Structures are given as C-alpha cells and as structure tokens.
Structure 1
C-alpha cells in the first residue's frame, strides 16, 4: 500500500478502536481527499481490503458507510464480496470492532489520533442561543452533582428543542452541541444580562435551572441536518421521560453518538468566552479534530466551508431599507437589498450573517431557493461559483446598485432574472462536468 492508503487504513482503525462506523465524507476530510464525498476512493479502498485479507486481518472497509447508514452500500458490497466471498456484513463489522488494531504496528493509529474519551449526553432546551446562554442548568444541586459525577470535562451535550415550546422549525429536533467543562456556578454568571432578565420575567422559567455548568464551545447543526431526537438517539431518548431528560440529561451510547459526528455543523460564540470560533461548515467529526496539514485546493478561493454539494442562494433583507440606506422611500421604491452566494446550507449562511447584526427590525431571509430542495443540486464549489458569477454578472449588467461584495440593491424583476441566470449557468456547468466524466 502507498502512504495515502496507509493513512486511510489508520483512520479506519482508529474508528474501529472507538467501535464507530465512519462515512466517506469523514474519511475525505481526515486525509485531505480531493473530493469531499469520497468520490474516487474506491481503488484505494480495494487495495486496503486485499491487503487486510492477505494478512488475515478483519475487513476494516466494512465500517465505511454512507451518511446515516449502518452497512456499506450495495456497490461497495460488490467489491467486498469479490475479495472476501459471501460474508455476513454484521459479523464482519463485529470482528472489526473486536480486534485490537494497536497490535498491528503499521495500522495502529498515532497516539494523538486515539479516541479522546469524550462522552456525549442529551438534554433539551427551549431554543439554542449559546452566544447568550453559555451553560447547561439544573433545577437543584443534586441533579447537577449527578451530572458531574457521571460525566467528564469536555463532554459534548447534544441539545434538542422541546416539542411543546421553542422555534417552530426546531421543535423536537437536535439542533446544536455544547462542549461542557466542569466549572460550576449560578446560571446568571453564564447568561447574558438581557437574556437573564427575559428568563426571569417569564413565569414559566422564573427561578428555574439556577445550578449551572459552564459551556466552553458550541456548534449549530445546519438546518438541513436537523433530525428528530427520537430518530437520531432512539435509545437515549426512550431511556427516560422527556421531562427527566430536560431536567437532568442522559448519556448517549457510543453507537448512537456516531450519528451525531456525521452531521454538518458550524461553530458559534459562547457567552463569556473570548476565543476565536471557526465558522466553517463541516462535520462535527472534522470540527473536533486537531488541525492538520491538508492538500491545497486546486482553485484559489475560500468559501468558509468544506467543498462538496452546494446550493445557490439569494438572501433578502427585510425591514425599512430606506432608513437602512439613509434615503427617501421614493428612492428605493420596489427595490430590495440582496446578497447572492452559494453554500452547503443557505439557512446556516443566513444565520451567520444575521448574527453579525444587533437585534432589531432588520432581518435576513432566504429568498431563493424557495422551496429549498432536500439535497444540494450542484456537486461541488466550482459548479456553484459558475452560478454565483452569473448572478453577479446579471445584476451588474442590468443596472443593480452594488452595495459592496456580494450585496446589491435591485428591483424584484431583476432579482428573479438573477436567480434564473445563476441556476442556468450552474446547470450548464454541471452538465459539462458530467459529459466530460462519462467521455
């Protein structure tokens, strides 16, 4: 095997030691592969599979699966069966997890890549706003003591929004992750003044959750990856009454936790913390990994997220734009302030931009796509850039006012023509790539 194949095998061995499956995206991010969803890895995986078979080692590649799946896809199984015969995949995975991979020197993960022992817990909030609420809270000292006794500093706490209260689109879904240290104190110390005052004004929350444990980092899950709590963590969610989960928290098994690591997230500020945050949209697995040298991108641009499938988007600013621009209403009649771009998650990008604004009447909304398709339609950044460039070109050529960067003032008709120009250009670029790949 070559150096890359050994690196992939060591990554898989590290996952096996954690008794966790992994995805093509996670492998790609870990080794700096040139396609983020793992396209083209097959020949390398086949070499690894035969290398292991020749040495009578368990088939590591059987724990490599598509996002959200437990077993390899059928096309991958064809390669596995060709090398190993008609194996039982569940038994093969159990063999991989049971084997001591540290006993194979060339495949043993480096010491700094071994599992860090993080635990995952589950609890519920009425929302998710770490910039103003930087802790988890308990209603009494006994519940907090139970959590501290059974957890470790650095534990990850997955947050789902209660089904009876919270933003409508979040209710019942796992929406974020907090990293919790073991610093304790009154909740007021870890919550912003305005948010604390709002909490105490509400009769339903007044005097509750006063015994707090501080959060040190936080990640929002992209809305496209919101998952009902009973689907993401069926065992943990069914292990206790929802009221108990919200009041005390429950641990999540390593098997269920692996699904959390596959979700796309971006880091957000935590109240009281002064360190920098990384807004890159990436899997939680990648967000938690130590920085590593990666193969440089083939194109000289950076979009604040890993490559992979993309949406084009147009964001629109809602509010009194005349006041915002310092103009009269007549001067901006029928005009809209928009931002054009592309992202894995238009909603996450909207949230990131909105977070830079103080609370007020100016709100960014995702104007296009509407409705947003379940899957991003463009396979990579290069294709999405063709669409974004076409949108900017149409705006400039048709007389939109440039407000700086990707922000424009344009009338409604031009906004619609801009969207058509972008989607047409991206579609044509994707068609060219597909034809070239099949030639």
Structure 2
C-alpha cells in the first residue's frame, strides 16, 4: 500500500521524547536495545506517525522542552543508525558519548515540523502521564483517539528526511496535519448538458470573534480558558457568511460569532492566496484549534490581522457599521 493512500483514520499516532527534532540529519527512530525496537515493530503499522516532543533535559534547548516539535512517518523496515545519519548527527552522538545509544532503528520516510508552539500535555494528557515517562523516552506511547484527533489538528510544514530522496523547497507541503495526510480525491464524473456563468470579483478576508471567551465552545479546562476564539476566512460577502456560521447556533444561544474586520481584494484568486498566507501566519503566532479557528489574546489577534492586511493593501476596512480602519 502506498503511504500517501493511507487515510488519517487508518494511522496510529505515537508520542516519543527526544532532545530535538532533526529528521534532516537522522532519518530513523532509534532504540538503544534491539528488544525495544522489535516490540515497537510488533505494534506499529506502515504509515504510523511518531510525534516527537522536546525531552526535559539539559541537552534540549530550554524553549523546546515539553513542546510538540514534529511528526515522523515510519515504515516497518529495520535500519542501523549509521545508515540513516549525516556526519553532523554522528558527530553529535560521539561528542556526547552516545555512540551505543539508539543504534537500532526503524526507518522514517516523511516528516513535518509543527509550526506553532504547543505543550505536549495539551495534545496528549493521557500519554503524558508521569507513569508512562520511561516508555515515552525509550520506546513510544500510543495516543488515544481523542489525543490523536487533537495532534492531527495542528499546522505543520514538511521537511526533508535524511536517507530519502530530497524534495525541492517549493514542493514541501504545509497545512494542517490531518489535511496533508488525507488522500487526494478526484472530482466524480457528471453527465448531461449544463450552462453556468461564474463571475469573479471582489473577495474579502474576514476576522470573526466569538462573543464569549473560548471556553464557551472548547470546554472549561485547558490553555484556551480566558482567551478569544476567532475564525478567519475568505468570502465574497462577509455579512452573508456571518449569517451562515451563526445559523448553526440555537436562537437562545448565549454567544454568537461577530464580524470584527474584513478587507476586500480585487478578485478571488488574490484573496485566496492571501487567505492561505494569513492562516499560516496565525498558526505560527496563535494556538490553532483546527481548520480556520484560533485562540489567543484578542488584542494581539486583532493587531496581527490588521497588520497582515495593511501589508497587502493600503487600508483595512472594518466590519459594517464599525468603520475603524487602520490609521
């Protein structure tokens, strides 16, 4: 089975601690004892993902400790460390006296670095239980379904893997992990005569904010508590789009989406290109809640949206009736 044909639902996701995330230098998951590798091979499947987070150790950069760093995709093929390392990686092991550690490998074929900073406990609170610390550092711990869904909701950028054919910079994909793993599907055939006219025209980037704090929708515990929950996107009619997204709330709901800002661009292609860039920008600055939703401090989010739009156009337009603009 080709790995790019495996759906996210069919993949297992494991979590493993290490001193950093460097698939460009080492294209394998290493184990110090052969029995550890064989145990993992008996549990894993082709296409499984290993989520690497920064170990709590002096060898890990302080700002990377406990942070989810990236995903590695494995195939069930054994390897030796020396066969999947560049010179810099070999030298690092020798310099630290680790030449006898992590020598039994499982091959990594693709990898993605997580764009935004996120504490591993917010992704995998069960797998991060203290009782599983030894297993996380010597082998890997399997994420439960809810942890897996959360892990795959984060924005990533693909990186090259040492030992695999190099991918040109322009061909390295980025997006939400769940999306980059979803097999592409062709458009189903349709038959019969049709006539339609599609007119391009002004399209807007928009910023919507939930009228209540994020916990109103995301629950009462977690790092989102007290933060703003926002939605960014593109529409040729932001006010109509606002009605559509609020249409899913009951009439007596205590919160609603509010259209805070929108910025027009001359056509759909331009707006679409800016939308992709805006979402990548937000994924790096704020906490992604999957799709086009983010949490963070409202003032910082609003400023980031305005600054981004200002860099694309000389003036930012506020939501209808607000007429704030950038001054």
TM-superposed deviation, 1:227: 2.2
Q: Which residue of 284, 292, 299 maps to 2:269?
A: 299
Q: CA RMSD in A?
A: 3.5
Match of 2:104 in 1: 211
Change (3 A) 1:127 1:250: same
TM score, norm. by length of structure 1: 0.46
8 Å CA contact retained: 1:217, 1:269: yes
1:265-299 CA distances to partner (integer Å, 9 max, x unpaired)?
A: 11111111115375444211111112357999812
Match of 1:234, SS state, is coil
Q: Distance in 2 between matches of 1:172 and 1:386?
A: 34
Q: Which residue of 25, 29, 33 maps to 1:132?
A: 25
Change (3 A) 1:185 1:345: same
8 Å CA contact retained: 2:8, 2:178: no
Q: Which runs of 5+ in 1 are unaligned?
A: 1-111, 312-342, 348-370, 391-424
TM-superposed deviation, 1:237: 1.6
Change (3 A) 1:113 1:144: closer
Higher relative contact order (CA 8 A, sep 6+): 2
1:230-265 CA distances to partner (integer Å, 9 max, x unpaired)?
A: 221111121744232111111111121000111111
TM-superposed deviation, 1:133: 1.6
Q: Within 5 Å, which residues of 2 pair with 1:100-249?
A: 116-164=9-57, 165-203=59-97, 205-223=98-116, 226-238=117-129, 240-249=131-140
Q: Distance in 2 between matches of 1:430 and 1:167?
A: 42
Change (3 A) 1:375 1:309: farther
8 Å CA contact retained: 1:344, 1:376: no
Q: Which residue of 306, 311, 317 maps to 1:388?
A: 311
8 Å CA contact retained: 1:123, 1:248: yes
Q: Distance in 2 between matches of 1:178 and 1:208?
A: 19
Q: Within 5 Å, which residues of 2 pair with 1:322-401?
A: 344-345=283-284, 375=301, 377-379=303-305, 386-389=309-312
1:264 equivalent in alignment to 2:155: yes
TM-superposed deviation, 1:136: 0.6
Match of 2:141 in 1: 250
TM score, norm. by length of structure 2: 0.60
Q: Distance in 1 between matches of 2:74 and 2:7?
A: 21
Q: Distance in 2 between matches of 1:434 and 1:199?
A: 62
Match of 2:46, SS state, is coil
Q: Which runs of 5+ in 2 are unaligned?
A: 188-197, 201-266, 287-296
8 Å CA contact retained: 2:49, 2:72: yes
Change (3 A) 1:304 1:292: farther
Count of residues in Structure 1 that have an aligned counterpart in Structure 2: 229
Q: More helix per residue: 1 or 2?
A: 1
TM-superposed deviation, 1:200: 1.3
Q: Distance in 2 between matches of 1:309 and 1:302?
A: 11
Match of 2:318 in 1: 431
Change (3 A) 1:303 1:259: same
TM-superposed deviation, 1:433: 6.8
8 Å CA contact retained: 1:309, 1:377: no
Q: More strand per residue: 1 or 2?
A: 2
Change (3 A) 1:433 1:266: farther
1:371-391 CA distances to partner (integer Å, 9 max, x unpaired)?
A: 9x7647455xxx66642246x
TM-superposed deviation, 1:170: 1.1
Q: Distance in 2 between matches of 1:236 and 1:346?
A: 26
Q: Distance in 2 between matches of 1:152 and 1:135?
A: 15
8 Å CA contact retained: 2:25, 2:161: yes
